[in-house]
Amino acid sequence: MSKHKKVNSREVGLEIGLVFGKYFLGMEHLHYGYWTDGLEVNIHNLSQAQKNYSRFLLSHIPKGTKTILDVGCGNGRVALELVNKGYKVDCVSPSSILTRHAHNILQGKSHIFECYYEDLETENRYDLILFSESFQYINLEKALQKSLRLLNKDGYLLICDFFKTDAEGKSMLGGGHKLVKFYDLISQYAFHPIKDIDITKETLPNLKVVSDFFEEVGNPIWDLVLYFLNSNYPLFSKFLQWKYKKKIEKIERKYFSGGRNAENFSIFKSYRLLLYKKTVPDII
């Protein structure tokens, strides 16, 4: 009998966000929004902000690029925009849940490697490798080594993602490689920096939107569920709260303590668009 495979909670979280966002807000993307001046910060504008992000990202693809590898393609929406612009695109997607969406959206217009980037093996080579909010999930050294190998001569690495700053104190916000470590490491590889744009200011409103959502919707629903369980199933509820004490505390700390806010994001994270050019001939 095949061993039961556990589903990754992060992928399930992305799927829930996708289903919820699409149904209630018309959201098509899985990445942050890029909030331009004049776009009022509220949840109803999130879909527009995400479209702005894609437009901003795609505007930094260097001229002459023909082939792209979209690493961590999510639901495939960015890849589809790239295909529609005439690029030849392959994708990497380790999540079976998101890969299903990507296949539906891309309809065979793009080949999807269903694996972690770290495990990808292919003879294909690309003019540009894209990490749209997926870089933070991938081992730094392996990401750089693999990208050097998979890029054509003079190929580009385009990363749009958040990193950890060196700010002191404990952040309630997880995720991201340390920015200083990234700069240090990439300087040891055959990549030449072309662009480094700080878009923390344009992306931090997402945190306000999400923290408002948890305060106004998530928190009351959470309280209601606990109230229902305590009133109707007191023994079962006590058992659950004893058995999952640590998990429940973590959820309350993470989502309902108010620490995941825009101010903390601006202190502990730095969201950047980074473009690098490969400076050595093909590596075999």
Ligand X SMILES: C[S@@+](CC[C@H](N)C(=O)[O-])C[C@H]1O[C@@H](n2cnc3c(N)ncnc32)[C@H](O)[C@@H]1O
Q: Would you tell me which residues interact with ligand X (CB under 6 A)?
A: 14, 29-31, 71-74, 78, 92-95, 98, 116-118, 132-134, 137-138
| Shortest Å, Cβ 147 to ligand X | 12
Which residues lie closer than 8 Å to 138 by C-beta, 6 or more apart? 71, 72, 116, 117, 118, 131
In the bound state with ligand X, the residue whose beta carbon lies nearer, of 118 and 215, is: 118
DSSP three-state, residue 31: coil
| Shortest Å, Cβ 228 to ligand X | 32
| Shortest Å, Cβ 278 to ligand X | 20
In the bound state with ligand X, the residue whose beta carbon lies nearer, of 45 and 237, is: 45
In the bound state with ligand X, the residue whose beta carbon lies nearer, of 173 and 229, is: 173
DSSP three-state, residue 131: strand
In the bound state with ligand X, the residue whose beta carbon lies nearer, of 137 and 276, is: 137
| Shortest Å, Cβ 239 to ligand X | 34
In the bound state with ligand X, the residue whose beta carbon lies nearer, of 85 and 238, is: 85
C-alpha closest to that of 94 among 116, 73, 79, 62: 116
Find out whether 260 and 172 touch, Cβ atoms under 8 Å.
yes
DSSP three-state, residue 137: helix
| Shortest Å, Cβ 70 to ligand X | 7
In the bound state with ligand X, the residue whose beta carbon lies nearer, of 158 and 262, is: 158
DSSP three-state, residue 145: helix
- 22: exposed, middle or buried (Cβ count in 10 Å: 0-12, 13-18, 19+): middle
Q: Could you tell me where the DSSP H helices lie in the chain? A: 9-25, 46-58, 77-84, 96-106, 140-150, 179-186, 200-203, 205-213, 219-232, 234-243, 245-256, 262-268
| Shortest Å, Cβ 247 to ligand X | 22
| Shortest Å, Cβ 28 to ligand X | 9
> Looking at residue 41, what DSSP letter applies?
-
Angle at 93 between CA 17 and CA 16, to 5 degrees: 15
In the bound state with ligand X, the residue whose beta carbon lies nearer, of 17 and 220, is: 17
